[in-house]
Amino acid sequence: MQKVLILDFGGQYNQLIARRVREQQVYCEVHPHGMTLDEIRRFDPIGLIFTGGPHSVYLPSAPTVDPGVFDLGVPILGICYGCQLMAQLLGGRVTAAQDDSAREYGKTPTAFDTSCALFEGIGGESVTWMSHGDYMAAIPAGFSLAAHSAACPTAAICDEARRFYGVQFHPEVEHTERGRDMLRNFLYGVCHAAGDWTMADYKTQAIEAIRAKVGNGKALLALSGGVDSSVAAALMSEAVGDQLSCVFVDHGLMRKNEGDEVEAAFAHRSLNFIRVNAAERFLARLAGAEEPERKRKIIGEEFVRVFEEVAHQIGAVDYLVQGTIYPDVIESGQGEAAVIKSHHNVGGLPDCVDFKEILEPLRLLFKDEVRELGRELGLPEALVSRQPFPGPGLAIRVIGEVTEEKLALLREADAIFREEMARAGIAADQYFAALTNMRSVGVMGDGRSYDYAVALRSVETRDFMTAAFSRLPWELLDRVSVRIVNEVRGVNRVLYDVTSKPPATVEYE
């Protein structure tokens, strides 16, 4: 099987590059930038991709790569930081932008030289997503300019003879209009990929790896009822059968009626389903906690403690299995990457865990890949296509301290929003209500009110690394607002969030 190697320099979109490669049916792996030449040779890639990163290549502390990679005879694509690093190591010069006009962030009209193999067939001009404060002041010998923008004359460079390419923008994100075509040109036009990897292959390999790891041991899976944990349960069940127990912890932070719905959906499946009602202990631990990272870490630790208790009751459980996917990992910080927010099942885990090992069979997959794997495993479409719900539940949709009163308000408001979205036949990728920590003056029944504001959020996305807010009909928003204010005592204002990701995240905390 052909392989592409992605060397990670700490950018937020690094695993998204892998997603874009894999959706072209080319297998790839992401490894640290410090991978040795011998390790790279053993990997035997048909191409190398250097990712973006938050550093400046000209600083002594900047992450780098063994310059010997340029003598391997393997095609290389550098993206943003990766492009600048390649230029610097091969004799070019990278410097900080001298004024604000030379910095570029966001959608940028860009012109291309379509004689360059990377830009063949994409047209002479399109929009790219820029995010850089440094730029290439001089390009290395043997390279030519292949793209430019109004502020950046070196938006892309190429050395066709050695098959080295660099782009200052991010072709992996949705905002770069022809980004997929550029990556496909690199994979098929430059690296001569055969396109020999599919999700069916991933399923087979994952099952074999799980069986080899677990052996005759027992595994306990954290089952929330969402897409990720459900697919992980199906995968683990196929791999190890009745060696698996699935534990659903009702932490009191679920949506309206959701705990009972999850139990009804899984209680009769062959998954050794166990429900633990733990609302009181979670809310007691969360009392007084207002800062989002603290709330996430409390929830992450308490989940593990419940799983440890159940494991002791079952006896001889070696492995804790989680439905962690890559957006969770990268937002929690990995390698050189910045921490955006600690997901309860990644950065929110306690330092000491009473299991031999934590297994995360979906850790390298994006949401749409998880859904595809679920279909390969024969799960029903209604479950595979279900809208995501975060493990910390409503705790990260209640801004500030979590209380029973606030949870009750939010459950009702969220239920109304979901009911009206379903009635209107609108299927956004994720939508929910959040309870802000803001109270404001209103007029209700000719009297003064001083109540909470509810924020509505709805986004369109494929991979949850980037997202655009949904353009919902005003008539729908009007109905939802009227119903929430009329039916949910304690709310007198409804807001609609029109911020995309980035700069926002999908969830509020």
- Helix (H), strand (E) at residue 199: helix 199-214
Helix, strand, coil % (nearest 5) of the chain?
Answer: 35, 25, 40
- Count CB atoms within 10 A of the CB of residue 240: 21
Tokens coding 368: 């749409």
> d(Cα 414, Cα 434) in Å, to the nearest integer?
8
Contact 50, 83 (CB under 8 A): yes
- Helix (H), strand (E) at residue 148: strand 144-149
Strand ranges in 243-336 using DSSP code E only, listed in sequence order: 244-250, 273-277, 317-321
Contact 97, 135 (CB under 8 A): yes
Q: Burial-class residue 61 by CB neighbours within 10 Å (0-12, 13-18, 19+).
A: exposed
Contact 273, 248 (CB under 8 A): yes
Active-site positions?
Answer: 80, 170, 172
Whether the ω angle into residue 502 lies within 30 degrees of 0, i.e. cis, is yes
> d(Cα 243, Cα 245) in Å, to the nearest integer?
7
Strand partners, 456: 433, 496
User: What is the 8-class DSSP label of residue 460?
Assistant: E
Contact 345, 326 (CB under 8 A): no
> d(Cα 43, Cα 36) in Å, to the nearest integer?
11
> d(Cα 22, Cα 368) in Å, to the nearest integer?
12
Q: What is the DSSP string of 378-397?
A: T--HHHHTPPP--TTGGGGT
Q: Cβ contacts of residue 247 below 8 Å, gap of 6+? A: 220, 221, 222, 223, 274, 275, 276, 306, 307, 310
Give residue for tokens 């640290």: 32
Q: What is the DSSP string of 60-98?
A: TT-----GGGGGS---EEEETHHHHHHHHHTT-EEEE-S
